[in-house]
């Protein structure tokens, strides 16, 4: 497994995977970044496509990622994560709408749990999901980052880096 650390306007990001296929993206100061194993090799030339697309996303010039992904999870989690990639840039949805879109309106809680286990933040845009009452709910990278990402996608948070 290889990993790379990338700068961003909202903190360092670590990306990891094998053979150029991304299986993880997290902030270096989050618990998910601890998934980087001791036997993994840091490679600052790996995942150039992801690095370039993330730069463009943060610069405000990219609205849809085209990165090879292999998130690891259950079949249900992968269905939820796939549905997350269908949420358009700059828009939000709720856990209930996601559950209904997956054909099971009663699966709101399960959708929320799967959303929280998303291993590839930003690229799989779990930050675009909010509570039914319009409130911002948890985000593994921290609520300040979720707020920034949503504001960024509305064109309200341009940081240069």
Q: How far apart are CA 126 and CA 108, in angstroms?
A: 14
Q: What angle do CA 113, 117, 118 make, to 5 degrees?
A: 120
Q: Find out whether 122 and 159 touch, Cβ atoms under 8 Å.
A: no
Catalytic residue among 126, 129, 149, 150: 126
Q: Find out whether 122 and 128 touch, Cβ atoms under 8 Å.
A: no
> Cβ atoms within 10 A of the Cβ of 133, count?
7
Active site includes 97?
Answer: no
Q: Find out whether 131 and 111 touch, Cβ atoms under 8 Å.
A: no
* C-alpha dihedral sign at 60, 26, 80, 51: positive
Q: Find out whether 63 and 22 touch, Cβ atoms under 8 Å.
A: no
Residues annotated as catalytic (active site), given as ranges? 126
């Amino acid at each position: 497994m290889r990993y790379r650390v990338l700068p961003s306007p909202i903190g360092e990001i670590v990306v990891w995977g094998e053979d150029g296929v991304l299986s993880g993206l997290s902030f270096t100061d989050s618990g998910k970044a601890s998934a980087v194993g001791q036997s993994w090799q840091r490679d600052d030339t790996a995942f150039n496509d992801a690095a370039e697309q993330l730069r463009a996303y943060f610069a405000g010039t990219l609205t849809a990622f085209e990165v090879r992904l292999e998130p690891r999870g259950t079949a249900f989690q992968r269905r939820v994560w796939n549905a997350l990639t269908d949420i358009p840039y700059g828009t939000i949805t709720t856990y209930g709408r996601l559950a209904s879109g997956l054909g099971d309106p009663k699966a709101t809680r399960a959708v929320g749990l799967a959303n929280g286990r998303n291993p590839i933040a930003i690229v799989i845009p779990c930050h675009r999901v909010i509570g039914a009452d319009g409130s911002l709910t948890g985000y593994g990278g921290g609520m300040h980052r979720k707020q920034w990402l949503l504001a960024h996608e509305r064109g309200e948070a341009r940081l240069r880096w």
